[in-house]
Chain A
């Protein structure tokens, strides 16, 4: 409002009200448009989270009912070997699976984008199709393929007189799951990276070519650095996805019940606590602890990669 305006009190007030009204209206407009999202966001995300937070500080016992326990559930989660065992397993999983998956996705994306491959659209679709297969169905298919005695791989090994590969054994379960996840999500990540590559101006690439850079040099020093933010994005998505691994182990459990224990992945542990042990409150606390772990790892990843980006 113009402070030094030389006019009567009334008119100042009048125009002030008008101005503030229209300002108010202006300020309100974005929220009106945001309202549908905000309402759904609050109802389906914030409120359930708040509810989970509330129940996580209680304990509901079969004998004695519900009692307030404060942070007892969280203290228990922090010292729970089953929970940390699952987290550790997911860290191993991520260290090997994420680089392989993103590496493959990047190579495929570069190949498709370079135009070196024939039938680009066929390959693009082919790589992407596994993502369109529901995770449950994909795991059922792989579960059948992995069958220790009568699965096709075992049958082939048997035919050749080789020992049957023990895909569902204790030692091989994690790589077997990693294989399914890689199969499912390489195409998805490839599409993100491919889209980013498509946005790289051709001039930059041509300039490199004119300067005598070989195709692999163009890829390594020009195209990849330019899509680094997209690679970072797929990295964060993959870290979150890894800690939330659930479908694959919970379905493969039917094939190898002794191998996939209730604490195999932290997410599956939270599920088992709630729906097998009936410990809903503790399950809520474990879920929040898992959320904290995901935040920490995603943040550390961004911190490390950002620094590298700056120094490079």
Chain B
């Protein structure tokens, strides 16, 4: 009996495999006949539920979801697939700052021809300008990371600090705090984090890149960047901020245990903190980013991503339709916000009372979203990324990292980054202006 049971299924695998193969072939080839199948790569937690909802409600298109790793891991796989010209997904998760990197190698389709511009006004202006170039559209925005200051109310109360409105105040409060308690720092200067550094410079008005086809102008050490560099160099030398790298276990523990009084964070920050520093529940509050000029209200963006359609997709129309649905359909957007914990870019969601008025227990019941919504409304839309952003981040990490160690200064580091990035661009065949 047992033997038969074991043998039974084995004997049937042959025909079964053949049937499966036929089905696969049928769906793969007969795009006009059966439903189209498109592949979607994303690392967003829980997004398979949104995909499921799409598949349940759409008969003509079937989306196959693949988690190909987060950020760099996914991009490496995507590049491999692009080189092999095989296995390229139809729709792919790409962060804002990597869109030019992939359009440079013609990896992304211009989806304006499939009606992407119809939804242009549904998205916050600056997010749309990040995914488009004139009338050309390379992705649909999904989420963003408008920057604001998360601070520990308990530490601020204990040392009688006031929430800094300007960077000058931030520096003086940092000094006051560190003098009162040498084991506590106002924040950590994360020299390792190119995205975070870029956010700070974005706020200060730095516009490092202007790309025009094969022509590029590079100003990594422009006035805005140097303003940030000089400012943080002062804090590093005073020792009132730590130079711990971010997103390490030690850093998570530091956030939870109160080593840092603030975290210069982004829209996705509060929920992220809840995950990595749960023990500090109720102690955090959100405030607008400190300003360079008192009375101004300028923010920047750190993080966030998009759904892009690849140029290699054989179903670009269906792929575009899915990318739009995923980031535009009311139900899907709700799921992205509440279940995947993304900070929205859709105006409708940003204006919806349930989102604006949501109270976060982790932040002592504060309506944190409203702080970040204000920030999102104050992000300048003229910021451009380089077409080789991995290299730029790697250079920031190494050169600014040397400054955090004290081997050089932050302003000098920016000059070095400028030189190496310019050299790289020339080597890669760009005409540097």
Give the interface of A toward B (CB within 8 A). Answer: 61-64, 143-144, 147-151, 170, 254-259, 261-262, 272, 275-278
Determine whether the beta carbon of A150 is less than 8 Å from that of B257. yes
Determine whether the beta carbon of A62 is less than 8 Å from that of B430. yes
Determine whether the beta carbon of B79 is less than 8 Å from that of A62. no
Determine whether the beta carbon of A277 is less than 8 Å from that of B391. yes
Determine whether the beta carbon of B250 is less than 8 Å from that of A257. no
- The answer to whether A62 and B105 touch (CB under 8 A), given A147-B250, A149-B259, A258-B405, is yes
In the assembly, what is the distance between CA of A278 and CA of B392, in Å? 12
**Surface stretch bound by A, among B44-52, B197-205, B311-319, B396-404:** B396-404
- The reply to whether the CB of B303 lies closer than 8 angstroms to some CB of chain A is no
In the assembly, what is the distance between CA of A63 and CA of B216, in Å? 11
Chain A to chain B: the 10 pairs with minimum beta-carbon distance, closest first: A258-B401, A63-B429, A257-B192, A150-B253, A61-B429, A64-B429, A62-B428, A63-B214, A147-B250, A276-B390
In the assembly, what is the distance between CA of A254 and CA of B427, in Å? 29
Determine whether the beta carbon of A258 is less than 8 Å from that of B259. no
Give the interface of B toward A (CB within 8 A). Answer: 72, 76, 79, 104-105, 191-192, 214, 243-245, 247-250, 253-254, 257, 259, 387-388, 390-391, 394, 397-398, 401-402, 404-405, 424, 427-430
Closest to B390 in A: A276
Q: A62-B387, A148-B244, A275-B72 provided; 14 other pairs, C-beta below 8 A? A: A62-B104, A62-B430, A143-B249, A147-B253, A150-B250, A150-B257, A255-B245, A255-B250, A257-B191, A258-B245, A262-B394, A276-B390, A276-B391, A277-B394
In the assembly, what is the distance between CA of A173 and CA of B247, in Å? 19
Determine whether the beta carbon of B429 is less than 8 Å from that of A62. yes
Task: Write out the residue numbers on chain B whose beta carbons fall within 8 Å of the beta carbon of A147.
Answer: 249-250, 253
Determine whether the beta carbon of B428 is less than 8 Å from that of A61. yes
Closest to B388 in A: A62
Task: Write out the residue numbers on chain A whose beta carbons fall within 8 Å of the beta carbon of B79.
Answer: 278
Determine whether the beta carbon of A256 is less than 8 Å from that of B245. yes
Which one, B105, B191, B428, B429, contacts A258 given CB within 8 A?
B191
Task: Write out the residue numbers on chain B whose beta carbons fall within 8 Å of the beta carbon of A149.
Answer: 244, 250, 253-254, 259
For residue B75, give the distance in angstroms from its CB to the closest CB of chain A: 9
In the assembly, what is the distance between CA of A106 and CA of B427, in Å? 50
Determine whether the beta carbon of A272 is less than 8 Å from that of B429. no
For residue B397, give the distance in angstroms from its CB to the closest CB of chain A: 6
Closest to B247 in A: A254
Determine whether the beta carbon of A255 is less than 8 Å from that of B402. no
- The answer to whether A276 and B394 touch (CB under 8 A), given A257-B245, A258-B405, is yes
Determine whether the beta carbon of B250 is less than 8 Å from that of A275. no
Complex A-B: 23 CB contacts under 8 Å:
A62-B388, A62-B429, A147-B250, A148-B244, A148-B250, A149-B244, A149-B250, A149-B253, A149-B254, A150-B250, A150-B253, A150-B257, A170-B405, A255-B250, A257-B397, A257-B401, A258-B243, A258-B398, A258-B405, A262-B398, A276-B391, A276-B394, A277-B390
Task: Write out the residue numbers on chain B whose beta carbons fall within 8 Å of the beta carbon of A64.
Answer: 429
Task: Write out the residue numbers on chain A whose beta carbons fall within 8 Å of the beta carbon of B259.
Answer: 149
In the assembly, what is the distance between CA of A77 and CA of B105, in Å? 26
For residue A235, give the distance in angstroms from its CB to the closest CB of chain B: 34
Which one, B245, B247, B257, B401, contacts A261 given CB within 8 A?
B401
Task: Write out the residue numbers on chain B whose beta carbons fall within 8 Å of the beta carbon of A257.
Answer: 191-192, 245, 397, 401
In the assembly, what is the distance between CA of A48 and CA of B419, in Å? 35
- The answer to whether A150 and B429 touch (CB under 8 A), given A258-B401, A276-B390, A278-B79, is no
Which one, A63, A148, A277, contacts B430 given CB within 8 A?
A63
For residue B215, give the distance in angstroms from its CB to the closest CB of chain A: 10
Task: Write out the residue numbers on chain A whose beta carbons fall within 8 Å of the beta carbon of B387.
Answer: 62
In the assembly, what is the distance between CA of A148 and CA of B244, in Å? 9
In the assembly, what is the distance between CA of A143 and CA of B105, in Å? 37
Task: Write out the residue numbers on chain B whose beta carbons fall within 8 Å of the beta carbon of A256.
Answer: 245
- The answer to whether A258 and B402 touch (CB under 8 A), given A63-B430, A278-B388, is yes
Task: Write out the residue numbers on chain A whose beta carbons fall within 8 Å of the beta carbon of B257.
Answer: 150
For residue B338, give the distance in angstroms from its CB to the closest CB of chain A: 30
For residue B254, give the distance in angstroms from its CB to the closest CB of chain A: 6
Determine whether the beta carbon of B249 is less than 8 Å from that of A255. yes
Closest to B191 in A: A258
Determine whether the beta carbon of B254 is less than 8 Å from that of A258. no
Determine whether the beta carbon of B249 is less than 8 Å from that of A150. yes
Most buried by B among A151, A170, A272, A276: A276
Task: Write out the residue numbers on chain A whose beta carbons fall within 8 Å of the beta carbon of B402.
Answer: 258
For residue A22, give the distance in angstroms from its CB to the closest CB of chain B: 42
- The answer to whether A261 and B398 touch (CB under 8 A), given A62-B104, A256-B245, is yes
Which one, A61, A144, A258, A275, contacts B397 given CB within 8 A?
A258
For residue B312, give the distance in angstroms from its CB to the closest CB of chain A: 18
Determine whether the beta carbon of A258 is less than 8 Å from that of B394. no
Task: Write out the residue numbers on chain A whose beta carbons fall within 8 Å of the beta carbon of B250.
Answer: 147-151, 255
In the assembly, what is the distance between CA of A272 and CA of B105, in Å? 19
In the assembly, what is the distance between CA of A143 and CA of B427, in Å? 37
For residue B402, give the distance in angstroms from its CB to the closest CB of chain A: 7
